[in-house]
Amino acid sequence: MGGNVCKLLKNGYCLTPENPGKKDILIVAEKIYKIGEEISNQGLFDDVEVIDCSGKLVCPGIIDLHVHITGGGGEDGPGSRIPEVMLSDLISAGVTTVVGVLGVDSITRSIAGLLAKAKSLEAEGITAYIYTGSYGIPLVTLTGKVVSDIALINEVLGIGEYAISDYRSVYPSIHRLSELAAEVKVGGLLGGKAGIIHIHVGDGKEGLTPLFKLLEESDFPKKMFVP
């Protein structure tokens, strides 16, 4: 939000479950310090930036867990490739945190490119993470192993988007899903992270059945799976 120590957002409509209505918001050192009626900038730091938010909604930045930050598409040939996301695309939608995914195309796009793009977005001022892997097996990684990607690379939260019930994947067995979940869990433990498996569910006949079977037959926590 710039270099000023203090920012005072005036007359914005706060969008929260409590619906407090029009409020002023004082931000100090990039943290919300106070929310209230008619906060004065008198007595604050000399470099207070006052921003008129009249007629605008004010809410926390949106976290988007699935963004093709290096571009998507390509399934109808090279002409259908979608370009990489720009910072302006994200912030204009209120998104301040993204998790980048590779998707179906692990041939012309790479985890290295995904990581570089995440670092670029971070440098531009938003928070960016990635998932390692792609739709099918073998999973593409940066270090050669899922567990080490998650444990050693700060930006990697887990794997994704891993596809089930989709002809573009390999219809993984429950045993393979279990092995993969174990790798992700251990990587998360070693790296001090949640260790997430972000799953793409295709329109195949099995639907979510493979995931339900895995949860029934194993002790993996449900919260590590994000369909």
Per-residue model confidence as pLDDT tens digits over 121-162: 999 999 999 999 988 778 899 999 999 999 999 999 999 999
**Residue-averaged pLDDT of the chain:** 92
Q: Apex CA 96: angle with CA 160 and CA 22, to 5°?
A: 135
pTM over 0.85: yes
Per-residue model confidence as pLDDT tens digits over 48-62: 889 999 999 998 899
- Residue 21 sits at φ, ψ, to 5 deg, of 85, -150
> What percent of the chain stands above pLDDT 70?
96
Q: What is the pLDDT of residue 3?
A: 60
Q: Where do the H-state alpha helices sit in 18-173?
A: 87-91, 111-124, 146-152
Number of H helices, E strands in the chain: 5, 11
Tokens of 63: 């976290």
Domains of the chain, residue spans: 6-58, 62-226
Count Cα neighbours of 163 within 13 Å in the Cβ-side half-sphere. Answer: 22
Do 181 and 218 contact (CB within 8 A), yes or no?
yes
Query: Which residues, other chains included, contact 164 with Cβ-Cβ below 8 Å and sequence gap of 6+?
Result: 171, 172, 177, 199, 200, 201, 202, 204, 206, 208, 210, 211
Q: Which residues of the chain have pLDDT under 70?
A: 1-4, 43-45
- State whether the Cα torsion 141-143-145-150 is positive or negative: negative
Q: What is the pLDDT of residue 138?
A: 82
CATH annotation of 62-226:
3.20.20.140
Q: Where do the H-state alpha helices sit in the chain?
A: 87-91, 111-124, 146-152, 174-191, 209-217
- Residue 161 sits at φ, ψ, to 5 deg, of -85, 115
The three-class DSSP label of residue 114 is: helix
- CATH top class, domain 6-58: mainly beta
